Each structure stands twice: as structure tokens, then as C-alpha cells.
């Protein structure tokens, strides 16, 4: 009887504690939700003024009547670079806020991964040219896949943009796409660079939000520390995996495996 009584008291105490703790969590959860909403709203609202700023600088730069000194022209170019960086940060924050709010859904469609990779490579070619980096694409063994086209494009953009950013002038960035068969069809993406590489101690952390190995350097390159966390979300939303192999000073190899039917 004694044992039974103690068990009942324990059960009541446990249940009461559980509900009280649950109630205590409600304001915390609400505050997180409000914070997420604020980030989403703020980044959404910032998009328009940023686009207007960018367009305005464009208008001034392309106005044939302008008689700016070389110094003023340089200031305009620098302004444009900074606005572009701001635009990327805002876009990344908006993506993460949407991910947190669970409002991002994958839009699966059938498309040719070679075409998407080709577009991404072309969009980054001038960045690579500016650093005399050889940007190679090998996608002979890739083909049609079923996945979220714009997210796969965003993933490639993040990985290749990083590879160019963290590779010194005259380096090489190699991008390979292939369909491999391992229980089911998978798209394997390999992005290899011969840049600065990542130290062992930082490797596990680079997929975390706002984590940057070298903050000053990353900021200089326009980095936000958000790219790889978005990349990881895209891969995991597709039930895939992303890994990195690296040796400091020798470069990095990012490998993505994504199940793709079709």
C-alpha cells in the first residue's frame, strides 16, 4: 500500500511538473515566434528599398550626361558592391526566417540538372574571370532529375561561389554532377577547389548559422556566414547528405548526395 501510495504521489507530482513546465515554455515559444516574424518582416520590407537603391546607382552610372571624376565613379562602384552585399544578407535572412517558420516547401519537378548547372556556372563566370580562376564543369554523367529546381540551383550557387571566394587568384574550381546508383538514383555533386582550405577544428562548425572561420576575411569577400547553413537545409529537405573534406592550404571538396527519382 505504501509503495502504491508513493507511486501515485510521484505520478501526480510528475504530471503537475510536466504541465507547469509546459506552461512556462509558452511565453518563450511565443517570443521566439515573434522574433522569427520580425526577422521575416524586416527582411521582406528591406528588399524594396535595396532594389530601388541599386537601380538608382545604375541610372546614375549609365547616365551619359554625367561628368563624374574618377574618384566619384569609384565611389559609385563601391556603393553598388555594398548594396549587393546587403541584398544578399537580406535574402539569406529571409530564407532562414521562412525555413524556421516552416513555410518553405519543396517544389519537386523533373528537370535537366545539366542545364541548371550550366546556368549557375555562367552566372559566376565573371567572378571567376576577375580572379583568373579556372572554372570547370563536368556533367556528362548527369541528366534529368526530380527535385526542387530553384533550390538545387541555389545550392550550387552557394557551393561554387564559396569555392571561388576562398580560392586565391589563378586557382581552379571543379564542379562535377553525376547520377549514381546506390539502392536508388542519387545526384552526386562534387565541388572541388584548390584554395585556402578549412582546418580540422572548424570543419564541423561551418554548416552552423553565422559561423565563419575568418570573420574579417569572410566579410571582405561579402560573406554572411549563412550560405552553408542554407545549403545544408536544402540538402536535408531533399533527404540528402552534405560532407566536406579538406586540408588547410590545399583546398576543399564538398560532396552532396541527393536521392532523385527519374
Q: Which residues bind ligand ADP (CB under 6 A)?
A: 162-163, 166, 193, 195-198, 206, 211-214, 218, 223-229, 252
Query: How far apart are CB 42 and ligand ADP at their closest, in Å?
Result: 20
- Cβ distance to ligand ADP smaller for residue 95 or 260: 95
**Strand segments (E) across the chain:** 108-112, 134-141, 144-148, 172-182, 184-193, 241-247, 251-259
Query: How far apart are CB 224 and ligand ADP at their closest, in Å?
Result: 4
- Cβ distance to ligand ADP smaller for residue 153 or 162: 162
Query: How far apart are CB 185 and ligand ADP at their closest, in Å?
Result: 27
Query: How far apart are CB 6 and ligand ADP at their closest, in Å?
Result: 53
- Cβ distance to ligand ADP smaller for residue 225 or 240: 225
Query: How far apart are CB 16 and ligand ADP at their closest, in Å?
Result: 44
The contacts of residue 107 (CB under 8 Å, 6+ apart) are 148, 149, 150
- DSSP for residue 242: E
Give the CA distances from residue 18 to residues 7, 14, 27, 65, 132, in Å, rounded to whole numbers and listed in that order.
16, 6, 16, 72, 61
- Cβ distance to ligand ADP smaller for residue 113 or 229: 229
In the block, residue with C-alpha cell 565613379: 73
Give the Cα separation of 153 and 157 in Å (integer): 6
- Cβ distance to ligand ADP smaller for residue 113 or 154: 154
- Identify the three-state secondary structure at position 199: coil
Amino acid at each position: 500500500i505504501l509503495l502504491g501510495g508513493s507511486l501515485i504521489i510521484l505520478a501526480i507530482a510528475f504530471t503537475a511538473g510536466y504541465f507547469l513546465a509546459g506552461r512556462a515554455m509558452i511565453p518563450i515559444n511565443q517570443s521566439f515566434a515573434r522574433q522569427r516574424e520580425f526577422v521575416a518582416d524586416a527582411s521582406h520590407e528591406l528588399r524594396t528599398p535595396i532594389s530601388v537603391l541599386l537601380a538608382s546607382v545604375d541610372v546614375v552610372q549609365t547616365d551619359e550626361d554625367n561628368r563624374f571624376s574618377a574618384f566619384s565613379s569609384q565611389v559609385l562602384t563601391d556603393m553598388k558592391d555594398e548594396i549587393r552585399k546587403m541584398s544578399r544578407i537580406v535574402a539569406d535572412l529571409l530564407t532562414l526566417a521562412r525555413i524556421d517558420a516552416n513555410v518553405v516547401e519543396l517544389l519537386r519537378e523533373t528537370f535537366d540538372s545539366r542545364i541548371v548547372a550550366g546556368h549557375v556556372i555562367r552566372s559566376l563566370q565573371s567572378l571567376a574571370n576577375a580572379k583568373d580562376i579556372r572554372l570547370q564543369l563536368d556533367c556528362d554523367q548527369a541528366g534529368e532529375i526530380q527535385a526542387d529546381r530553384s533550390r538545387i540551383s541555389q545550392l550550387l550557387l552557394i557551393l561554387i561561389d564559396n569555392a571561388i571566394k576562398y580560392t586565391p587568384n589563378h586557382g581552379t574550381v571543379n564542379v562535377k554532377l553525376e547520377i549514381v546508383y546506390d539502392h536508388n538514383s542519387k545526384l552526386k555533386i562534387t565541388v572541388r577547389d584548390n584554395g585556402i582550405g578549412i582546418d580540422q577544428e572548424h570543419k564541423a562548425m561551418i554548416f552552423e548559422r553565422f559561423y565563419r572561420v575568418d570573420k574579417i576575411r569572410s566579410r571582405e569577400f561579402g560573406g554572411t556566414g549563412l550560405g552553408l547553413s542554407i545549403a545544408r537545409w536544402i540538402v536535408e529537405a531533399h533527404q540528402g547528405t552534405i560532407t566536406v573534406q579538406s586540408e588547410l592550404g590545399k583546398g576543399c571538396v564538398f560532396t552532396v548526395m541527393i536521392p532523385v527519382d527519374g
